[in-house]
């Protein structure tokens, strides 16, 4: 009897766990919140069954992929934002150094460098999960906007530093 009661209690606790009440977000809800924060040209599409949004914020293109989704109007528990900045005049090592410098800071978003046919690209990725009591809302979109703003400033600073170094080299000749 005590064994059955214990099993029942374990199942009851599992059913009431935070994952059972995970908050979700739809692509339409996310689009609406992004627009409130100034995102433009936000389009919704589907890639491999996952809702995906593309748009522009702060003059920078971005993609958002929603995952861990359920239902016919997919309600999702996970969002991944990605935005990439072309840094064609930077070497692979320079691009990696910029990404590593970003990642050494105490930021929620991760930077990474990629090599494309036209040169280097440095990207910013922010993953957000909605489990338990975490609810989707303006706070998550604001976090993306702040991370993106900081990233763009870092890219502008890196370009200015490179231009200054080139100017110094040219003036020394």
Confidence of residue 7 (pLDDT cuts 50, 70, 90): very low
| Tens-digit pLDDT profile for residues 51-97 | 999 999 999 999 999 999 888 888 899 999 999 999 988 999 999 99
Residues 6+ apart with CB under 8 A from 142: 37
* pLDDT at 149 exceeding the cut of 90: yes
* pLDDT at 5 exceeding the cut of 50: no
| Distance separating alpha carbons of residues 168 and 87, to the nearest angstrom | 20
- What pLDDT score does 24 carry? 85
> How does DSSP classify residue 117?
T
Confidence of residue 106 (pLDDT cuts 50, 70, 90): confident
Other CB atoms within a 10 A radius of the CB of residue 168 amount to 9
- Identify the weakest region by mean pLDDT among 42-56, 64-78, 125-139: 125-139
Confidence of residue 148 (pLDDT cuts 50, 70, 90): very high
Q: What are the residue ranges of helices labelled H in the chain?
A: 2-15, 27-36, 92-104, 138-172
Query: Tokens at residue 5, please?
Result: 């009661």
157: left (phi over 0), alpha (psi -120 to 50) or beta: alpha
| Tens-digit pLDDT profile for residues 10-31 | 334 333 333 344 578 899 999 9
- Identify the weakest region by mean pLDDT among 9-18, 59-68, 118-127, 140-149: 9-18
pTM of the model: 0.81
Q: Which of 129, 152, 157 is nearest to 56 (CA)?
A: 152
How distant, in Å, are the alpha carbons of 40, 108, 146 from that of 152? 17, 15, 10
- What pLDDT score does 173 carry? 62
* pLDDT at 36 exceeding the cut of 80: yes
* pLDDT at 101 exceeding the cut of 70: yes
| Distance separating alpha carbons of residues 37 and 39, to the nearest angstrom | 6
What is the percentage of the chain residues whose pLDDT exceeds 70? Answer: 83
Query: Tokens at residue 90, please?
Result: 């930077």
| Distance separating alpha carbons of residues 35 and 23, to the nearest angstrom | 21
Higher pLDDT, 93 or 130: 93
């Amino acid at each position: 009897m005590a064994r059955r009661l214990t099993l029942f209690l374990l199942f009851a606790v599992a059913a009431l766990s935070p994952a059972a009440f995970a908050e979700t977000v739809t692509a339409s809800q996310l689009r609406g919140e992004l627009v409130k924060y100034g995102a433009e040209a936000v389009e919704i599409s589907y890639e491999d069954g996952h809702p995906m949004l593309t748009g522009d914020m702060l003059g920078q293109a971005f993609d958002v992929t929603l995952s861990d989704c359920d239902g016919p109007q997919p309600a999702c528990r996970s969002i991944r934002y990605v935005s990439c900045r072309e840094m064609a005049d930077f070497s692979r090592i320079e691009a990696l150094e910029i990404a590593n410098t970003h990642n050494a800071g105490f930021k929620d978003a991760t930077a990474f460098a990629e090599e494309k046919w036209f040169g280097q690209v440095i990207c910013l990725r922010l993953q957000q999960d909605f489990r338990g009591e975490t609810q989707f809302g303006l706070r998550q979109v604001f976090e993306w906007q702040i991370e993106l703003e900081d990233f763009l400033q870092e890219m502008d600073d890196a370009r200015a530093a490179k231009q200054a170094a080139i100017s110094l080299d040219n003036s020394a000749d």
